[in-house]
Amino acid sequence: MDKYKRVGITAKSGLEYKSEAVKHILSILDELGVAVLIDPTRIKDPTELGSLKPFTNENDIDLLIVVGGDGTVLRAVREFHCFNVPILTINKGTVGFLSELELDELDELLPDILNGNGKVEERGILDISAFRGKKKLFSGYALNDAVIAQGTIARLVDLHTTVNDEELTTFHADGLIVSTPTGSTAYSLAAGGPIVHPKLDAIILTPINPHSFSQKPILISSSSKVNIEVATKQNKFRDTEVILTIDGQEYVSLKHGDHVLVCGCNDTVQFLRRKQDTFFGTLRQKLKWGEQL
């Protein structure tokens, strides 16, 4: 237990029965003798807090427990910049593709994992910047994906794309998804992209409803630099709205001539897992692989 002396807990906002779920986790951690710190912006019930101290960033803790669904995990990574502290995910959402433990497994598996019978799995992230001329509109990271797509008006957009300064194509489509292997089972999969094992160092480019049947998803090295320029021109009615979305949670409005730079990042997000590889088991469980229709 020396490795995880300070454990932080955050939870999904508005989580139903949050107090019961969090209290259950707190009771297990108390028996293990670890110091528990809470995310005060998400866990506000004073009956849960007691004398527990808050944490503000990853420097305050050795492990972050996230209670919720995939969106909660993505939010926690973005808010706390968890690149040096492992994350243990407990599902209290719907699909929970990023989740490691279910609530009914906690009594058996939580002490086992924290006592050293777990492994740390690293997941690659994307470094994303958006520019309007020399002005930087956005700079941040994505664990799942960056999506450049049309806004409220149903119009195709033109996205001129280069890889390592070499011409790739101009996607004439509803949009383009640039995802990590972790994000390959999210929006990219729904748009027809491939499932990619999270241990692969890759970036996936998946066009959304491309106008050309020849424009298919493509995998490139995670060391690649992808530059995407909004090449859609104004029409006589109004400027076509284009939106950059980061992990489905942050939004940036783009105009003609703006460009988005996406590349792999040296930092990674670390997940604390049970020792056996659960990726294929997760595919069978969450995506219902092998079940009869």
Q: Give catalytic residues, as residue numbers.
A: 70
Which residues make beta-bridge pairs with 146? 178, 246
Distances (CA, A) of 232 to 153, 181, 226, 235, 272: 13, 29, 18, 9, 43
Tokens found for residue 67? 């209670």
Q: What is the DSSP string of 155-187?
A: --EEEEEEETTEEEEEEEESEEEEE-TGGGGTH
CA separation for the pair 51, 119 (Å, rounded): 31
- Sign of the alpha-carbon torsion through 196, 202, 208, 214: negative
Cβ pair 153, 175 in contact under 8 A:
no
CA separation for the pair 238, 73 (Å, rounded): 37
